[in-house]
Amino acid sequence: MTTYLLAGGGTAGHVNPLLAVADTIRSREPDATVIVLGTREGLESRLVPARGYELVIVPRLPFPRRPNRQALTFLSRLNHAVANLTALIRDRKVDVVVGFGGYVSTPAYLAARRAGVPIVIHEANFRAGLANRLGAWFTGFVGVAFPGTRIRHARVVGMPLRPEIERLDRAAARPEALSAFGLDPDRPTLLVTGGSLGARRLNNTVLQSAPDLITAGWQVLHITGEKSEVADPGLDHYRMIAYCDRMDLALSVADFAVSRAGAGTVCELSALGIPAVYVPYPVGNGEQRFNAADVVRAGGGILVDDADFVPEWVRAELLTVLTDRARVARMGAAAASVGGRDGSARMADFIRSALA
């Protein structure tokens, strides 16, 4: 029986691939033990136990970027976390540590190295994060979602997708989706989402553009995010919800999308052949622009800066695309040409090769 220690958390970008790989391991090896490392503050604190996996909490240890009180105690706190995780690895007879980036992965990689167990890494973003760049010095098994990701020993395995997305039959699920969201079966659907917390620019621009989109013959399914402050305009053919816990249904009904360019979102839309306008998050290290580069280059997506995504752009550019159904179809085929649904299986195979 193999014991796996999976490390990653904080955001959906780390948690969803981790859970997808965990589910694949469990389906292949029902007698395997899967332990997940995560923080108390991250999404994993809710999602991991709900999926039936043991969650071990480790302290949130962001790498200090400026001298302050946190920086003075960082090394001692890191050493303490590594010592505890090393003991866990030895006590639970962990066979392999698999990291998906984020705060918890750094101590996990260091503990695995100290305990002498294999390390496997998955990097979801085009631009590798600090924890995974460090971990790549300790292993030759580094899987990446995107070709061209610059990290040691990179091997393309694709993006592990949530099982409900990986197995999704959009055509079969579409009637249920239309009914669930109260949408018109005779109109194409524009799906708009900026993530669980929302995206101010996307929300405001789409809201202001709603009459034009509806006049063009489309309907809008707008997932605003739980912290959004926009109000529902109450228009026919415009469905606004704050949060969606059935993204498989939302994706089933989507004929086109407007979205941020998080790695998971780009890979899910591409895998399902859904063309999109990608509006990268304007803060951070800019990785979202690069996440969408392949699908945009293939013709399956359009990239627009956050500052440029305004109602005038929607009228001049997006409506031109949406009113050309043949172009929408071509873009969908182009998106599918760079997508894939086998990332979970390929990553699980990669882990087995490291164990071997």
Measured N-to-C along each axis, helices 325-338 and 263-271 cross at an angle, to the nearest 10 degrees, of: 110
Could you tell me which of 324, 322, 273, 280 has the C-alpha nearest to residue 299? 273
pLDDT in the model for residue 71? 59
Alpha-carbon distance 69 to 238, whole Å?
50
Question: 285 a known binding residue?
Answer: no
Is 28 marked as a binding-site residue?
no
Q: What pLDDT score was predicted for residue 63?
A: 65
Q: How far is CA 31 from CA 27, 145, 355, in A?
A: 10, 28, 16
Q: What pTM was estimated for this model as a whole?
A: 0.91
> Which secondary structure element, helix H or strand E, spans residue 86, and what is its range?
helix 69-91
Q: For residue 153, give the DSSP letter.
A: T
The two tokens of residue 151 are 């990290």
* CB-based contact 18:100 (threshold 8 Å): yes
Annotated binding residue 52: no
- Average pLDDT across each block of 10 residues of the chain; the chain has 356 residues. List them in order: 92 89 97 95 87 91 65 75 95 98 93 98 94 96 96 97 95 97 98 79 94 98 86 93 92 97 95 97 81 97 96 98 98 97 97 96
Q: Tell me the CA distances in angstroms from 273 to 23, 46, 172, 336, one per residue in order.
A: 24, 30, 15, 4
| CB of 123 closer than 8 Å to CB of 148 | no
CA distance 241 to 246: 12
> What's residue 196's pLDDT?
60
Percentage of residues in the chain having pLDDT higher than 90: 80
The string of pLDDT tens digits covering residues 276-306 is 999 998 876 677 999 999 999 999 999 999 9
344 is in an annotated binding site: no
Residue 3, token pair as written in the block:
């014991």
**Residue 8 near residue 40 (C-beta atoms within 8 A):** no
pLDDT value of residue 102? 87
Residue 180: per-residue pLDDT: 96
CB 98 within 8 A of CB 120: yes
Is 12 annotated as ligand-binding? yes
Of the candidates 192, 15, 179, 159, the one whose C-alpha atom is nearest the C-alpha of residue 99 is 15
Please tell me the distance from the alpha carbon of residue 275 to that of residue 293, in angstroms, as a whole number: 13
Here the tokens at position 288 are: 């979202």
CB neighbourhood size of 301 (10 A): 26
| Residue-range domains of the chain with CATH | 3-161+341-355 (3.40.50.2000), 165-338 (3.40.50.2000)
Determine if residue 216 is labeled as part of a ligand binding site.
no
Q: CA separation (Å) from 125 to 161, 199, 211, 290?
A: 14, 19, 35, 8
Instruction: For residues 225 and 192, give the distance between their C-alpha atoms in angstroms, rounded to a whole number.
Output: 10
Give pLDDT, residue 59. 82
